[in-house]
Structure 1
Amino acid sequence: MALDIGALSPDFSLANQFGETVDSTSLSGGSVVVFFPFAFSRICTDELGELRDNLGLFDAAGVTLVAIAVDHKYTLRAFAETNDISFDLLADFWPHGSVTRAFDAFDETHGYAERISYVLDGRGSVRSVITSPHGQGRPIAEYSQALSSVEDAL
């Protein structure tokens, strides 16, 4: 399940991997919010590494990339340092998964984030949703297609 196209994204405020607060109001100009199950898992490491390697795609579209997991900020910091990730990794650790739930991206059975990405315009409206089945990463080509739709709205 995911938020509908055109829906307003929920407001949030979470700590990044450095303990700095990042809130939804600081993501003006459009954003891509990537939910991922766990730092250090094979698929998540590959997926976030691919996003890292393609940051120019997001910069060219004028959007901010953030990724959210239910991991602790210290886990996310170690993950970012190990994998040379420079974009914000946000910890939805406590209350466990509250922001992830608000975005309809929480797997209640397993207690972690589903693989759902939202492309948001400058008003916080959902312009595109990118998902993948359990055990598969989201292809970077889908981000490229989704970003072209939001560039027109910025």
Structure 2
Amino acid sequence: MTTPALRDQYGQHWPCPPIEGPDEPASDKTWLIFIPGAYTPVCMSELEHVATLADTLADEGVAVRLIAPDSAPVLRMVCDQLSLTVPFLSDFWPHGAVASHYDVLDTTTGRPKRVSLLVDRSGEVLETIESTAGSRNMDDHLSVLHNEK
């Protein structure tokens, strides 16, 4: 299996699982939100709600990481356009290695499924949200977290 090599929207390297990064401390729980394509209409509609979600989750000690198969420069453009400061990680090369690691890569399209994974500090999956049609409701991330307690 290929070792995942992640870069954030600023080109900084991140480990897998992406629980902590260059300027981001580890949290007990982290949502890994897989985005099939940063500049698609459905993904952009989801991304418009991520900043609010991330702020709310931060108050509860839960981190958010976005992961997409796009290159880091493309992710930077999306972040700049939407004023996103959440780490947006490129799973560009080796292509889809993180999505494969978490078994959420759609091998037909070469893109991750529209899935969010709640992971602990070791990267173990605690909860899953998946949308097979249309965008995820970002409030579902809060609901899952509150039902887990």
- TM-score normalised by the shorter chain: which range applies? 0.7 to 0.9
Task: Give the whole-Å Cα distance in 1 for the aligned partners of 2:60 and 2:103.
Answer: 25
Task: With the length of structure 1 as denominator, give the TM-score of the two structures.
Answer: 0.83
RMSD: 1.8
Contact 2:53-2:139 at 8 Å conserved across structures? no
Contact 2:7-2:14 at 8 Å conserved across structures? yes
1:15 to 7, 23, 28: 7
Residue identity in the other structure for 2:135: G
Contact 2:5-2:93 at 8 Å conserved across structures? no
Secondary structure at 1:54's aligned position in 2? helix
Contact 1:30-1:63 at 8 Å conserved across structures? yes
> Which sits farther off after the overlay, 71-80 or 12-21?
12-21
CA deviation digits over 1:114-145, x for unaligned, max 9?
Answer: 100001233433221000014x1111221111
| 1:141 aligned partner | 139
- Percent identity, aligned pairs only, is 27
| 2:57 aligned partner | 58
Contact 2:70-2:92 at 8 Å conserved across structures? yes
Contact 2:30-2:63 at 8 Å conserved across structures? yes
CA deviation digits over 1:6-35, x for unaligned, max 9?
Answer: xxxxx9551100011222352342100000
Report whether the alignment pairs 1:124 with 2:116: no
Secondary structure at 1:93's aligned position in 2? coil
Output aligned runs, 1:106-121, within 5 Å: 106-121=105-120
Task: Give the whole-Å Cα distance in 2 for the aligned partners of 1:125 and 1:99.
Answer: 13
| 1:30 aligned partner | 29
Task: Give the whole-Å Cα distance in 1 for the aligned partners of 2:128 and 2:97.
Answer: 19
Task: Give the whole-Å Cα distance in 2 for the aligned partners of 1:90 and 1:60.
Answer: 22
| Distance change in 2, residues 1:109/1:12 (3 Å) | closer
Unaligned runs of 5+ in 1: 1-10
Task: Give the whole-Å Cα distance in 1 for the aligned partners of 2:108 and 2:28.
Answer: 35
Contact 1:131-1:138 at 8 Å conserved across structures? yes
Task: With the length of structure 2 as denominator, give the TM-score of the two structures.
Answer: 0.85
> Matched residue pairs, number?
140
Task: Give the whole-Å Cα distance in 1 for the aligned partners of 2:147 and 2:6.
Answer: 27
Task: Give the whole-Å Cα distance in 2 for the aligned partners of 1:28 and 1:55.
Answer: 13
| 2:82 aligned partner | 83
| 1:41 aligned partner | 40
